[in-house]
Structure 1
Amino acid sequence: MSDNNSMPPYNDLIGDILKKKSDEGGMENLKGFGKPLPKDYFSGDTFQHFQRIAKDAGYKPHWLKLQHEIRDMLYEIDRFIMNEERVELEKRVDKVNEKIAEHNKHCPPPMLKGRISIDTLDRAKEIWK
């Protein structure tokens, strides 16, 4: 006994969005419309394709944004190192170490970085370039 009413309808949300946009006439203005896909899109794995397409679109992963924030924080600490008390500098270093911990949660394993201290600030700036 085959009852097609017992199965929920299949929803292709992305397909529906693309079909609606195509019906409205908004697909012709896309970059590369009507041109064949580059051959390198058919080689490699899906993740590599995602990374390439995301990079071309200007997407930055969260861990990379954090990496840039940490670098900027380190240079800011370095600018204020002569004018601030050690307690204030330690607070700034603690904030950087919190960002480093968050970065390490999200980044690929080869990109993991260690904590910093006031004494290792110069070395840290080199690492976080």
Structure 2
Amino acid sequence: MENFNKPSNDLIGDILKNYEKTGGMDNLKGQGKPLSDEYFSGDIFQHFQKIAKDAGFKPHWLKLQHEIRDELKDIAQKYVNGQKTDLQFRVTKVNEKIIAYNKSCPPPMQKSVVRLETIESASQRWE
């Protein structure tokens, strides 16, 4: 019979303990102050979102949204100016990003892939 009581590796715990030993936990913002009541209300995901937003974290899908918007704007501008070289290839690449975006963003924010012929209206939808 196997021994299931073997000690497990707690990598994150070990990193935090080492960080604490080297003084990394000294003088943290808010240290010694009580937690606000809002930390004990609502759900964990909402708290994570608020803390991440306050720390400047952007979710992957939001970064993709900005990349797609900028790329579509550039493609549309070149299309209008008659510079059509490699634009279909770029549209294909943007559509790959849109598919990745749709897999990770909230469902109400999902958008359809674009076509070169309608690139101007597609660019406006992503503003």
Note whether the superposition's TM-score is higher than 0.5: yes
| Aligned 8 A contact 2:76 2:123 in 1 | no
Alpha-carbon shift at residue 124 of structure 1 (Å): 2.1
Corresponding residue pairs, total: 124
- Within the candidate set 46, 49, 60, 2:47 is matched to 49
- Within the candidate set 5, 8, 13, 1:7 is matched to 5
- 1:84 corresponds to: 83
* 1:16-31 paired onto structure 2 within 5 Å: 16-31=14-29
| Aligned-CA RMSD value | 2.1
Structure 2 Cα separation of the partners of residues 84 and 32 of structure 1: 55
Instruction: Tell me the percent identity.
Output: 59
1:83-106 deviations in Å (ceiling 9; x for gaps): 312x63222221211110111112
Structure 1 Cα separation of the partners of residues 124 and 35 of structure 2: 40
Alpha-carbon shift at residue 46 of structure 1 (Å): 0.9
Question: What is the TM-score of this pair, normalised by structure 1?
Answer: 0.80
| Greater shift in the superposed pair: 7-16 or 89-98 | 7-16
Alpha-carbon shift at residue 10 of structure 1 (Å): 4.8
Letter in 1 for 2:27: N
